[in-house]
Structures are given as structure tokens and as C-alpha cells.
Structure 1
Amino acid sequence: MKQTWIHSLLILLIITIFSACEEKPTIKHSGKTVEIGVIVPLSGEHVSLGVKALIGLNAAHALQPLTVTGDRIQLHIGDNNSSIKGSLSLLEKFAENTDIKAIIILLNSYGALSIKQMINKKKIPVIAAIATHETLTTQSNYITRVSSSNDTQGKMAAFFAHDELLINRVAVFYDADSVYSTSLAQFFKEEFTDIGGTVYDELTANMPADQLERRLRALQEKGVELIYTSAIKRNAIHLLQINKKFNLNFQFIGTGNMLANMKERGITDYTELSEGTFVVAEYFDDRIKSIIEQQMRRYAKKKAIEFNTHSLLAYDSYLLLRDALKNCAECSRSTLNEALRNNRGFAGISDTIRTKDGDVKRPMFINKIHNEKMYVYVKVF
């Protein structure tokens, strides 16, 4: 990958972000308000995810509080206490309030799937910022997904391993009790097998360390070179620790959400152990976060803001909402829903983003971790 190409792409990105982030001085408050509900875990098991995602949403809102027609966007933020019951209660509350035009959910795939039926019943437009499960959009006419689907991410990783890295023997490592993790692993396995590769073993994150070590040594003897990992549990760190300790020299492909989850769970040495890991993500290069952080400080007056993938997805979700509202100042929920689910294109953080029937259409990046930083390796359309 030529450095000149990377630098050119970065320059274009900086221009895009600065133009997207700056509130145009000609926009004046119309005196009207558009009310939006937000469901986010700010307590309980998933509080770290919620806090990080809300940083991104609040950043976007602080930078661009008005629609292009001057209406003020008001966010009603509700804590679901990391529970399905809490999400359903908030969904009911927001849906019954006719002033609320749409809802942004900062939930993982399991959390979003758990309220999908209620969303369909209430017929209120919902933006799923973080959730990646493909059935969110295929089985609902009211949900728009901002993160690329598990189908897309898993298949992309398989093609990259087989066609770019020229690897034919792999294994997968995943959380057996995670909808997100198992779905990614399944799509990777199916695609990798279809294009001629062989998946030699399936390893789970709850496997005892000694058993995992034996299985990894056996894979090395069989000539397996790469492990696709979608695991997000705390003990998933064992995979990298064993690889480093015994110099097994496996290559790894992971996901941006996986890295975000590891950091949110307080696994501080994960990035260090991930040296050389390839990461399938919606965003490239850690420098993106620095640019946004600098902009955010000007508005929120914060000295240090730490973004991750969940923050950036929430940021893009707000940009989608704002773009959909540009011709929808006093529109109905159904009209706004159509504008969200079939968007012709708006300037997201890293590139132009479109939606078709609620499914996001956006470029993806294969990044590589080096010296605890993430750098672009290749862009995939």
C-alpha cells in the first residue's frame, strides 16, 4: 500500500470531517424542535458500551444541534439498565409520545433483536447504531442499521484471508453464547469454505486455557496459519496470550466491534497482544479519532475524550438522522422512516453512507494493528 495513497485519503477524510462537523453559520434556529428518543445502557452489564456510544452521539449533537432548516434536535436519553425489560419500557414510552419522531438505539445485536417485534408493532422509525445482525433490517420495516451486517463483515474477512493473504487453512474463535460472535463466525466459515479454503477447527472463548493451548498446538502442526476471531469475552485474551507465550505465530483477523468490546471490558493489554492483527471495520486509522476529539473539545470544553468504534457508529447515526430530517421538518413518522431507510447518501465520518431498505451501504476497511495503533491496509467497497 503506497503511503501517498494513504496520505491522500487521509487529507480527503479530514476535509470531509471538518466540513461535516462545522455548523454552518447561515443556519438559524427556526423556533421549532424535533424530538428524538435514545435507548442506551448507562447502568448494568453494558454500561461501558453505552457510555462510549453516548459520547459519540453527544459529540455529533453538540457540533450540529440544528437541522438544515433550523429546527433544533432534542434528544430524550433513556437508560435501559442493560435489560430487555428496560428497553421495552422506554420503547413503549417513546412510541406513545407523538412528539417523538424516531428512536436511536445504542444496543448490541442481542439487545436490538429483543425489541424488534415491539418496534414492528409500534411502527416507529428506529436507527440501530451498533447492532450488526442482518435480520434487524430483513425482518423489520422500521429499523435502519448503521453498522455493516455480520454477513458483510464475515464474508469480507473470508475473502481477504483467502484472496489477499493467500491462506487456505484457518480456524475460528468465537463466543458460543453471543448472537453477534456466532453469527460472524458462521458467515466467515461458510464463505471461506465456499471459495476453496478449509476450516480446521472451531474454538470457543469459554474453553479452559490448557485445552485451548493443546488445540492451538495441534492446529499449528496441521499448518493452520490464521485464526478468525469474533470473540468479545474477557477470557478471549487467552488466545493471544498463548499465541505470544509459545511463539505459535498465528495471524488473526478480528472486528472493530471486537476491539471496542475488549477495551470497554477493561482488558488493557489487548491492543499490545494484538500486534499484527487485521481488523475489519467501518473506520480506518486511529488518526480519525484524534480529529474528531479536537473538534469535540471546542464545543464540549473537554480536555480528553476517548472514542472507539461504538462512539463513531453513534456519531454516524446522528448524521444519518440529521440528513433524513433535511426535507422532513414536520413530517410524519412514516415519511421520516422512508427517508432513513432509503437514503441516497450523506457524508459520514469516513466516507459517503447510503441506506437501502434499512440496510447500510458503506465502504469497509481492513486495518492492521501496529505499535498499539490501527492503520489502514485496504479499502473495500
Structure 2
Amino acid sequence: MRKLFACTLIVTLIAATAGYWFWAQQREVGHYLSDLRIELTLNDGVNHDRGNLLGIEPDLSPRDYQSLDLVRLKLAAYLDKARDAGLLNDKTIVVLPEHIGTWLVFRGEKNELYQAANLAQAMDCLVRSNPLAFASAWLRAEGDSRANDAHLRMKARSMARDYQTLFGGLAKEYGVTLVAGSIALPEPRIENGKLLPGSGPLYNSSIVFGRDGMPLGTPQRQLLPTYEEQSYIQPSPEHQLNVIDTPAGRLGILVGSDSWYPENYRTLNEQGAQLIAVPAFMIGKNTWDQPWGGFKSVTSPSEISLKPGEVSEGEAWHRLTLISSVPSSTAEAGITVFSRGKFWDKHSVGWGFVSRNGQTSPDQPGSGARLLNLWL
């Protein structure tokens, strides 16, 4: 009887494990009608054949990341609209928002994940669908939030591959220089023309792709992530700020709130940066109009007199980014773009703006995806 009971238990466990494994491997892509509309809401200057900075603020949702083809379809539709409007040329620099690549962690998952009620449920589904990969990544995770680290680390290789395929492919297809927002990867590097993850801490990094679809320079790490992100994304204050030669001029990248720090502009000035791109991201449906919370890292510049709560979050971005009074950037022009849309219960918000010789032109509040253009 004991042997029969033991055999029955073993068979049951094997069947349950096999059933769970079969469930975890299912990846059916659900039907989804995506909104491909985008409006040109800011068009500053005149075409002098010197190129332009073109910001794309996409309206994205989890469903767009079901497959690489779906997210490419949406971004290609935006670029088609820009091309039809005469905004693409061989000197165009397209700038996408921060973390547009990080969401690739959700590519190719189960329908249950995209139908989740909130982000926490979606992350639970991600773990259940990738149990062995998550367990392995958790053992190698760093930082205070091992779970958040493991969520990204377990899919780092596919994310890096998808990121280069998607954004390198778009840059080549449309013949533009493309600042591909950012992506969180462990110690990203470019090796023989390929973006590869390492095995160390996670960094929020931006990669620029040239008109041939290949990466330009090295990944630009975010130097000072926010307090919330620093539980799993490593600060990199000693990392070099890169300036890249593009057909439109020498381009510097400041990821997110790195654009608030005068020291970073001094560094870019020394390297002769003529243009600055700021991929940005902000969570919270009404955050833009709420009181500014101050610098979101351990470092606060002594030369900045702005105090927390003194202005709104949006006004702080306008004051601190690209036009800091001490010191001022010597770059000719810059652009800041934010992400739009909603990922489960998390709204992304922000109104992009362009800067030319210290003067800022903000976009006007509105809904949907938006194009912001600055002729050089």
C-alpha cells in the first residue's frame, strides 16, 4: 500500500509539473487594434538643410509589446507620419523617451500578463511564466530590490537583441540617426557591432543608432537614477558622458534627470557638444502639475537655488534642463521627450520641449502621441 501511495504521489507530482511547464510555455499573441495616430504639435524654426531634432512621444501600452512586430508597427507609423510631413532627412536625429526599451521585458508573454489589473499582477504573471529563468536571475541579482533586478536580468539577452533589432532596424529603414530612449540591462556593452549584456549591476542606458543601423559610440549610462530606481538600477556617476559625431553635429545624451545637473553640461561643453538629447520618463497622471520634489538622488548641485515645492514638476524641468543659469550649456540646441500612455495602473506623463540658444519652446498639453520638431 505504501509503495502504491508513493507511486501515485510521484505520478501526480510529475503530471502537475508537466502541466505547469506546458502552461508556462504557451505564448499565444492576442488580437489587438493599436492606435497609430500621432500629431505634430511643435514645429520650431525653418529647414536650412542643417538637419533637425525630431522628438517622438509615443502613446504605448503593454499590448504594444506582445511582439516585436507590434511595437515596430506603431513606431514605424509615427515615422511614416514624420516623413510625410517632410521632417525626415539624412541629417535628422530622432529622439525617443527613456525606458522605451526597458518595456521589452514584457515581449512575448502570456495573454494573462497583458490583461492584468495592475503592474504588480503583471510582474507576478511574468515570474510564473518564467520560473526557472527568474530563480536563476534572482540568485545573481544585486541591489536592495532583488526581485526588480531579477525581472530584468532574466530576459537581458533577449531584451538586448530585440532592442538592437527594433531600433537599429528603424534607423536604417528611415535613414536617420536614432537616440533609442533607454533600456535597463546588466553592464551593457557594444562588441563587434552588437549590444550585449554583462553579468554585473543593472544600468539604465541609452544607445544611439546610425543611419546604417549600427550602434554609434558606447552605451550612455544614466549617472544618477532616482531614489526609487536605485534599489535595483546602479548609479554610474563616474561613467563618462559620451559625445557622438552625427551628420547634424556633435551630440550629447543626458538620460532623464541627469539633465538637471550643471556639472554634466560643463562636461559636454568641454567635449564640444553642439546638440543635446534628453530621453525622459515620469510616472503619475498628475505629476507634471504637482509641486517639484527636489533632486531625486544623493547629490544636489550647490549652484542651483531652486527649492523643493517652489515650482511645479513641469516648471522645474524647464528651468533645470538645457538652460541652467550657472553654467549655461554652450550647445546650440536640445530636445527633451517624455513617454505617454498607460502600463496597467501606471500612467506616464510629461510635455516635451525644445531649446535653442538658451530659449525654451514647450509643447502644449494634450492627449495622444506627439511629434516635436526643431530645425537646426
TM-score normalised by the chain length of structure 1: 0.29
Higher helix content, 1 or 2: 1
TM-score normalised by the chain length of structure 2: 0.29
Larger RCO of the pair (alpha carbons < 8 Å, separation 6+)? 2
